[in-house]
Amino acid sequence: MKSRFNQSRVPMARPIGSPMSGTYACPELRTVTRAGSTAAIALPSRMNNRLHHPDGRVTDLQGQLLKA
């Protein structure tokens, strides 16, 4: 039985153009570092009526140290 499609007669696609040269770094998408942008990292997190400081201290809302 003959094959319906003859593989030897199928045209091959040719590349158009040349490969990309170099890379594009997308400078318009870079983040902007501005003064004070990371100041919030040093502030304590409030959970219920306690302040949890980045150094591990736990205080009440008036700033008095609580036992862990």
Residue-wise pLDDT tens digits, 7-41: 667 778 887 877 777 888 888 888 877 888 888 99
User: φ, ψ for residue 50 (rounded to 5)?
Assistant: -130, 150
| Calpha distance 54→39 (Å, rounded) | 12
Predicted TM-score of the model (pTM): 0.49
How many C-beta atoms lie closer than 10 Å to residue 52's C-beta?
Answer: 13
Q: Structure tokens of 50?
A: 């306690």
Q: What is the pLDDT, as a whole number, of residue 21?
A: 78
